[in-house]
Structure 1
Amino acid sequence: MTTAPHPLLPTARALADDLLAPHAARVDQEGVPASHLNAIRRSGLLGVSAPKEYGGAGAPDAVAREVQEILAGACCSTWFVQTQHHSPVRLLAQSALPVRERLLGPLATGELLAGIAFAHVRAFPRVPVRATAERGGWRFDGRVPWYTGWGLNDVMLLAGVSEADEVVFAFAEAREQPGLRASEPMRLAALTAARTVSLSLDGLWLPDDAVVLRTPQEEFALVDQPRNTNASPAVFGVAYAALQVLEDAGERETAAALRGPLDEVRGQVYHLAEHPVPYERVTERLALKTRSYDLMRAATTAAVVAGGGRAMGLDGTAQRLFREGMFLLVQGQTAQVRRAHLDALAEI
């Protein structure tokens, strides 16, 4: 379960073992504390993929994936808040617009923590958020169904679709302001702790210098596809954590029987993630993703079964991992991913 050595990997493991995992049950019930995120800010993990010249680590994608595995397996709620940060960092690193110089350094060093409000763009041709050019900037109207980390993030990467079917990405402060109102945090079957809200946008105006990218919707869909067709590192993090629960319960044979296939699929997923054309071999990516789901589900179910009635306690690790696995089945889900998963389940 390791890549080539990198100094951020022992940092992530120490953070997971010493802080995140010991408090995961409490966080699950009470919410992700700012202190957890402050520890991640100080660790340098928020800049794992950011350019070195802006204060980041410039680490290979393989290292970034393993960091996400480690954090997700220790405390999936904390992982989910901080994982939002990495998409804005990558987008800024690829941008030549002025906002890069203003925000990339603070985001790379952890001075600022970012969230994302653009998953709704995947609903196209439905347009939940409309972006309209206005007064030397852009006006955003509509509803963001899901925004994670409200009250914890400093800035958000917001996207809307223009009348010309252009996706406009711009940064805004992650707080209530004229034209932006948040719902109460949602109560969910899993990861309520991550403080997910919906956002109502009614004339939120952002200046041109807040824009990081404008791109045709068709081009965005092509670039965005690998984010959903590849299995998330969090799936493997939660699955491996469940196998550890099994081993701790004395069920080493069952854990070993599941670990072999899990290692194999993980290797295949990550090998394909390095393919030079990320939007090719989609059918294979989806098949591996659904296989990853199967193994995660088997591992978390086995952890619950091994724990018996004790596993039903809200302070139990097995039931928490089971619920977190359920969440990961639909996290970032698109119609294409849903169809592939349901078709695979229908063949069981």
Structure 2
Amino acid sequence: MRSTPGRGTALETEPGLAGEPLVAAVADVADTVLRPVAERTAVTGVPLTHLVELARCGAYGLVGYEPPEGSGHTHAQVVREVHELLSAADPSTWFVHVQHFGLVKALSRSTNTALRDRWLPALVTGGKRSTAGFAYLRQPSPPVTAEETDDGWLLRGHVPWMTGWGITDMAVLGAVAPGDRALLARVDCGPGAGDGLVAAESAPLWAMNGTHTAAVEVRDVLVPHEDVISLEPRTDWVRDYDLENANAQPAVFGHLRTAVDLLRAAAPRAGTAYETLALRLAEEAARLRTEAYALRDEQPPEKEVAARTEIRAAVLDLGVRAATACVAATGGRAVRYGDTAGRLAREALFHLIQAQTPRLRGATADLTLRGL
């Protein structure tokens, strides 16, 4: 029988959704390929074979995927469940995989139809793998700039984080153009891409270090006009980015599902209180998940932004508390690399800052103050 995260708790996958073809295929890969070696992957890095398996099961086709007619499930439900399952099984592989969709989504929205038609077919099958570097566009002074030339745009600067370095073929790269505009471009970054993108010296990450994340120097990369995805006022781009990231992310619920499973497994040794704690955590996480997903499904992005952000902050806080309980239940082993409880603790803190916005930072502080 397949082991699904959160089984027997309020976080368990709804039975009908578990039988949806793409969900079932991803769940099988997560359980048989990713989860058994997740601790090794977190230390040594995501192997290319993991990404090949995700391509084989259809996980790269999420953006355009539609459930079979009559299934009773929506595109959004399937996408969220896939992200929860992958994050629960192996967050390192999940994060490399999710970066792929930065380019896929950007191309799907682009008015550059030739560029979209050229690359989307390979991207949605996993025949080509991509990553992203653009979150810094919301900073006051973005570290990558674009200068227009007769042949296109010349990009220069420094990308603080680029995940999947060395195991991806291309990237969506952001830069600030004259007139305070946000430019998104498709650039090659795999073997044979030239010396325009170069990994720079950087300290190892103490969380998610298995994601092949590197700081990257952008050295006069010439992007021809035909590889420009979009060019818009940076204020518009930042607004849309912040609205999207006001929402609680499925990966955090995947993290909570694994934490709940660990606590239940530890209860016979650590004490029956941990079984009770696990079930209470699952109930609270499921309540927050229902509220978060309802806001996404029922309200336009610009509505209830404060409520969305408060829920996201609450989910992140719950993840930290759940991971703390996992460390306590595990004991001294948790401080060693290769232990699940220690990994969960590091990942809980990673989620606090992944796609962080000023509003979320404030909501986290408010929530912490209320608890004092």
Q: Confirm or deny a common fold (TM above 0.5).
A: yes
Question: In 2, are the aligned partners of 1:49 and 1:59 still within 8 Å (CA)?
Answer: no
Task: Kindly indicate whether residue 209 of structure 2 is the aligned counterpart of residue 192 of structure 1.
Answer: yes
Q: 2:197 maps to which residue?
A: 180
Question: In 2, are the aligned partners of 1:222 and 1:279 still within 8 Å (CA)?
Answer: no
Q: Which amino acid aligns with 2:246?
A: T
Partner SS state of residue 88, structure 1: helix
How many aligned residue pairs are there? 342
After superposition, the C-alpha distances for 1:9-65 in whole angstroms (9 at most, x for unaligned) are 11121111111111011111111111111111211101111267xxxxx97122111
Q: 1:87 maps to which residue?
A: 102
Q: 2:319 maps to which residue?
A: 296
Segments of structure 2 that go 5 or more residues without pairing to the other structure are 1-11, 67-72, 268-273
Task: Report which stretch shifted further, 71-80 or 309-318.
Answer: 309-318
Q: 1:233 maps to which residue?
A: 250
Q: Equivalences for 1:90-109 in 2 at 5 Å?
A: 90-97=105-112, 98-109=114-125
Question: In 1, are the aligned partners of 2:60 and 2:125 still within 8 Å (CA)?
Answer: yes
Q: 2:61 maps to which residue?
A: 47
Task: Report which stretch shifted further, 303-312 or 61-70.
Answer: 303-312
Question: In 2, are the aligned partners of 1:185 and 1:195 still within 8 Å (CA)?
Answer: no
Distance 1:221 1:142 in 2: 19
Q: Equivalences for 1:102-251 in 2 at 5 Å?
A: 102-123=118-139, 125-175=140-190, 177-184=194-201, 186-250=203-267, 251=274
Equivalent residue for 2:356, pick from 327, 330, 333: 333
Question: In 1, are the aligned partners of 2:242 and 2:357 still within 8 Å (CA)?
Answer: no
**Percent of matched pairs sharing the same residue:** 34
| CA drift at 1:88 | 1.5
After superposition, the C-alpha distances for 1:215-269 in whole angstroms (9 at most, x for unaligned) are 1112212221233211111111111101000111123211111111110001111
Equivalent residue for 2:81, pick from 57, 62, 66: 66
Q: Which amino acid aligns with 2:243?
A: P
After superposition, the C-alpha distances for 1:187-223 in whole angstroms (9 at most, x for unaligned) are 1111111011111122110111111111111221222
Q: Which amino acid aligns with 1:2?
A: T
Question: In 2, are the aligned partners of 1:186 and 1:192 still within 8 Å (CA)?
Answer: no
Task: Report which stretch shifted further, 223-232 or 37-46.
Answer: 223-232
Change (3 A) 1:34 1:304: same
Distance 2:101 2:34 in 1: 19
Q: Which amino acid aligns with 1:290?
A: A
Q: Which amino acid aligns with 2:216?
A: L
Equivalent residue for 2:29, pick from 3, 7, 15: 15
Partner SS state of residue 124, structure 2: helix
Partner SS state of residue 159, structure 2: strand
Distance 1:59 1:114 in 2: 26
Question: In 1, are the aligned partners of 2:181 and 2:231 still within 8 Å (CA)?
Answer: yes
Distance 2:237 2:224 in 1: 22
Change (3 A) 1:30 1:169: same
Task: Flag as ranges the 4+ runs of structure 1 deviating above 6 A.
Answer: none
TM-score norm. by structure 1 comes to 0.93
Segments of structure 1 that go 5 or more residues without pairing to the other structure are 53-57
Distance 1:86 1:284 in 2: 26
Q: 1:316 maps to which residue?
A: 339
Distance 1:183 1:59 in 2: 42
Distance 2:128 2:74 in 1: 19
Question: In 2, are the aligned partners of 1:49 and 1:61 still within 8 Å (CA)?
Answer: no
Task: Kindly indicate whether residue 269 of structure 2 is the aligned counterpart of residue 254 of structure 1.
Answer: no
Q: 1:55 maps to which residue?
A: none
Question: In 1, are the aligned partners of 2:310 and 2:360 still within 8 Å (CA)?
Answer: no
Task: Report which stretch shifted further, 304-313 or 232-241.
Answer: 304-313
Distance 1:192 1:128 in 2: 23
TM-score norm. by structure 2 comes to 0.88
